[in-house]
Each structure stands twice: as C-alpha cells, then as structure tokens.
Amino acid sequence: MPTPSMEDYLERIYKLIEEKGYARVSDIAEALEVHPSSVTKMVQKLDKKEYLVYEKYRGLVLTTKGKKVGKRLVYRHELLEDFLDLIGVDHTYIYNDVEGIEHHLSWDAIDRIGDVVQYFQENRDRVDTLKEIQKNNA
C-alpha cells in the first residue's frame, strides 16, 4: 500500500492526466504546492514501486497498477466531498476536511460512507428530513 504522501501524488497525477492528458513535474509541483525537486524524488519512489514509469526529461506514465490506485483515490476524495456536502458541512471547509480525514479511514469505512451517500441520493426527501433535523438542533 502507498503511504499517505504517495497517495496524494498518485491522486494528483491521475487527475492531471485525466484533465490534460499528461502530468509534468512542474504541473504536479504547482498542484501540490511543493518544490519540483520534491516531486522528482517522489516520482522516482513511485517508479520503484511500479505505480508509474518515469524517464528523466521525458515525463511519466501511470502503470495499470498506478491507474487503478489513482482512480480509487480520486473516487475516495470525491465521495468524501459528496458526503460532507450532503450532511451540510460549509463548502469553505469541505476540501480541507477531506484532506484531513481521507488517509485515516479504512476502505471499509469508505464503502459504508458510499452506502450512506447512495441512501440519501436515491431519495432527496431523506436529505430534506436531515436538513430539518439540523435546523431543529441549531
């Protein structure tokens, strides 16, 4: 399993490739707000762990393993954002809250959160009921 730091890089690389068709060291550094030298070191580690193939000055390509993990990490992030939005967390906090919790939840917990999100999305009246409860508790 990748470390939380590796997960952040894989998630960002996957998203960049999905959005732009490629991910350069400079793009990754900008997106993660780190120095390019830090990106290069991590990319080399991810290459050794076979999540991607990195060639100096040529770029990088996710392996099948890297794509699979990257896609799952993006799913986890988006699911947690949906969940926090659904339960009424202020939008200004959602991104940072997700960044703070996503590495600390088991995949079982993520799957259960997915069930809760699905439960509410299948019937919007449930969301209205939740909002009413929140209003009464405020």
Q: Please enumerate, by residue number, every residue annotated as part of a binding site for Mn(2+).
A: 8, 11, 77, 99, 102-103
Q: Which residues contact 82 (CB under 8 A, 6 or more apart)?
A: 117
Report the alpha-carbon distance of residue 34 to residue 121 in Å, rounded: 37
Query: What element of type H or E holds 55?
Result: strand 52-55
CB atoms within 10 A of CB 79: 19
How many angstroms separate the CA atoms of 50 and 18, rounded?
A: 19
Q: Which residues are annotated as part of the binding site?
A: 8, 11, 77, 99, 102-103
